[in-house]
Chains A and B, each alone.
Chain A
């Protein structure tokens, strides 16, 4: 139990569907992240939120839409995805203060399959 919970753990969707991934952290952190992990590729940082404000968007296609309603919750809204978007989507959180060593706390991931 890392204190970061992701749901659903597995999701299968068609290219015309709309779905959302949810992440919740109980660690009192004020920064949250979405990473994409594809087979045989490095971890890709998608989005960073600090104090509920998006501070980084690494050229992610608009079919991925993040939302951070408060410091404990992070969503990734998905629509009209492509088969190449199939991957493990990892959420992470961290404290964003001078005491931070940069360590991230990860959830267990949401395995997405796009048909």
Chain B
């Protein structure tokens, strides 16, 4: 079945550090890939997405590239801020209405 494996957390960084959160997937077919973010006390918000191989999703300084050859969708940001502290979820969906499969989430804490 479909699955998503995320880098284990928690991850703690200093402000302005470079961030990578690894995500790999297993899927039948050609999934769409997503990163969701959950800020403290809130629900999940879509951060970025990519719907086909080699697409790059980007938003708020975060980027992730859909790599079919390595079945990966790693999240990166060049300079993190304290306000980026949150839990980040990688997810996939095979198109035609199938449900989303989530990774376990990675807690990020950014210290000033």
Q: Are A102 and B43 in contact (CB under 8 A)?
A: no
- Which among A4, A88, A106 has the greatest number of chain B C-beta atoms within 10 A? A106
Q: Are A43 and B102 in contact (CB under 8 A)?
A: yes
Q: How many pairs of residues, A versus B, come closer than 8 Å at their CB atoms?
A: 64
Q: Are B42 and A108 in contact (CB under 8 A)?
A: yes
Sample of 10 further A-B pairs with CB below 8 A, known A42-B104, A42-B105, A50-B97: A2-B45, A43-B89, A100-B96, A102-B93, A103-B34, A103-B46, A104-B46, A106-B44, A106-B45, A109-B43
A107 within 8 Å of B by Cβ?
yes
Q: Which of A63-82 contact B (CB under 8 A)?
A: none
A90 within 8 Å of B by Cβ?
yes
Q: Which B residue sits closest to A48, measured CB to CB?
A: B99
Q: Which B residue sits closest to A33, measured CB to CB?
A: B99
Of B32, B45, B103, B105, which contacts A102 at CB under 8 A? B32
Of A88, A97, A107, A108, which contacts B97 at CB under 8 A? A97
In the complex, what residues of B have CB within 8 A of residue A4's CB? 43
Closest CB in chain A relative to B3 CB, distance in Å: 11
Cβ proximity bits B35-50 to A, threshold 8 Å, 1 near / 0 not = 0100000111110010
In the complex, what residues of B have CB within 8 A of residue A50's CB? 97
Q: Are B94 and A102 in contact (CB under 8 A)?
A: yes
